């Protein structure tokens, strides 16, 4: 029996939907009406999720890949290794087996999610990525949000799945990624920078506090995050700016709250990392609503 996709269940399990004793929480069932499903009935499954401002408190993982796509507003995907930020017209690829949680910080976020059999589609990327979504891929994601669960894999919808896989394969990386260190000392540094972006401690202040030389801390930061200290701090500040801009704060005030003395420097950094200006992000002129 085929079922229509009229549900708007959250892309992630709700806090109340916990695993029963004896169940492995690492292998989460597909939520909502998919109940205890342990494998995907087709290589691509898509569903609509337009619930706003949902923050799922627990990490989990799936035996299939996931593509989370923000068509309006933005979302973040958190893994133990990084924070992945997808503005409108960008999507986060989450490989099978990767522990994550999807964090929606937009009050008006519109999310389209796909679950994929990555091996069958030839998309078995091992790490999370933020991908640009082309107009064609945009329409394909929307289409798979409305198909019946057991669409004809050998018919037109099955062929669309292959086209979707081809489009994903050529989608360029285009996102704001904030790598997260595993060293507890660096985690403390990064938490302070993230929670107090307007503060201006330099690397020397942290190295003195940790009892390390500047050179040692610089090497440790680069090895753990793949970024230099200043670039990591810049990205953290820009991530902090997103909810402030979305709620309508003045761009000058946001720049100051994020530790920028120069408005032009803030605008240039924001555009370099997101592809849009702060004003375009705040007004939503860069996004397309499904």
Q: Which of the two residues, 211 and 88, has the higher pLDDT score?
A: 211
CA–CA dist 9, 289 (Å, integer)? 19
Q: What is the pLDDT of residue 169?
A: 95
Starting at the edge strand that comes first in sequence, how are the strands of the sheet with 82-86 ordered?
A: 101-103, 75-78, 82-86, 176-179
3-class secondary structure, 69: strand
* Cα torsion 3, 162, 91, 95: sign: positive
Position 19 confidence tier, pLDDT thresholds 50, 70, 90 = very low
3-class secondary structure, 94: strand
The closest of 153, 154, 124, 157 to 140, measured between CA atoms, is 157
Q: What is the pLDDT of residue 133?
A: 93
Position 17 confidence tier, pLDDT thresholds 50, 70, 90 = very low
φ, ψ for residue 212 (rounded to 5)?
-120, 160
Q: What is the pLDDT of residue 48?
A: 58
How far, CA to CA in Å, does 49 sit from each of 25, 179, 290?
22, 27, 12
CA–CA dist 76, 88 (Å, integer)? 11
Whether residue 6 is predicted with pLDDT greater than 70 in this model: the reply is no
What the block records as the tokens of 238 is 């820009």
Average pLDDT over residues 146-171: 92
Position 137 confidence tier, pLDDT thresholds 50, 70, 90 = very high
Average pLDDT over residues 177-202: 92
pTM: 0.79
CA–CA dist 14, 222 (Å, integer)? 36
Position 37 confidence tier, pLDDT thresholds 50, 70, 90 = low
The closest of 115, 119, 123 to 169, measured between CA atoms, is 123
* Residues in the chain, overall count: 290
The closest of 108, 91, 86 to 142, measured between CA atoms, is 91
Q: How far is CA 78 from its chain centroid?
A: 7
Q: What is the pLDDT of residue 22?
A: 36
Residues 6+ apart with CB under 8 A from 263: 251, 252, 255
- Number of DSSP helices (H) and strands (E) in the chain, helices first: 10, 9
Q: How far is CA 131 from its chain centroid?
A: 10
Q: Where are the alpha helices (DSSP H) in 14-55?
A: none
Give 80-127 pLDDT, tens digit per residue: 999 999 988 889 999 999 999 888 667 777 788 899 999 999 998 999
Lowest mean pLDDT among 33-37, 73-77, 129-133: 33-37
Q: What is the pLDDT of residue 41?
A: 86
Query: Do the beta carbons of residue 128 and residue 84 sit within 8 Å?
Result: yes
Most confident among 23-27, 113-117, 235-239 (mean pLDDT): 235-239
Average pLDDT over residues 24-42: 51
Q: Output the average pLDDT for the chain.
A: 81
Q: What is the pLDDT of residue 21?
A: 33
Share of the chain above pLDDT 90, in %: 57
Alpha carbons within 13 angstroms on the beta-carbon side of residue 281 total: 26
Share of the chain above pLDDT 70, in %: 81
Average pLDDT over residues 162-176: 93
């Amino acid at each position: 029996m085929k079922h229509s996709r009229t549900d708007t269940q959250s892309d992630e399990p709700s806090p109340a939907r916990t695993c029963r004793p004896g169940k492995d929480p690492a292998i989460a069932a597909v939520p909502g009406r998919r109940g205890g499903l342990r494998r995907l009935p087709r290589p691509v499954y898509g569903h609509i999720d337009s619930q706003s401002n949902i923050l799922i408190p627990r990490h989990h993982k799936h035996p299939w890949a996931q593509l989370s796509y923000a068509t309006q507003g933005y979302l973040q995907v958190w893994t133990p290794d990084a924070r992945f930020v997808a503005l409108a017209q960008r999507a986060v690829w989450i490989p099978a087996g990767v522990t994550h949680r999807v964090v929606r910080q937009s009050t008006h976020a519109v999310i389209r999610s796909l679950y994929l059999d990555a091996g069958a589609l030839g998309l078995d990327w091992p790490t999370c990525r933020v991908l640009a979504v082309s107009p064609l891929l945009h329409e394909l994601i929307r289409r798979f949000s409305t198909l019946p669960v057991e669409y004809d894999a050998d018919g037109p919808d099955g062929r669309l799945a292959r086209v979707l896989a081809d489009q994903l394969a050529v989608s360029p990386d285009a996102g704001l990624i904030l790598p997260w260190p595993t060293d507890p000392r660096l985690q403390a540094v990064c938490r302070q920078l993230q929670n107090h972006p307007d503060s201006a401690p330099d690397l020397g202040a942290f190295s003195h506090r940790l009892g390390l030389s500047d050179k040692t801390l610089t090497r440790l930061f680069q090895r753990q995050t793949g970024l230099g200290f200043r670039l990591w701090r810049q990205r953290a500040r820009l991530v902090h700016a997103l909810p402030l801009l979305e709620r309508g704060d003045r761009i000058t005030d946001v720049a100051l709250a994020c530790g920028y003395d120069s408005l032009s420097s803030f605008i240039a950094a924001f555009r370099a990392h997101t592809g849009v200006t702060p004003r375009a992000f705040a007004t939503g002129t860069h996004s397309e609503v499904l």
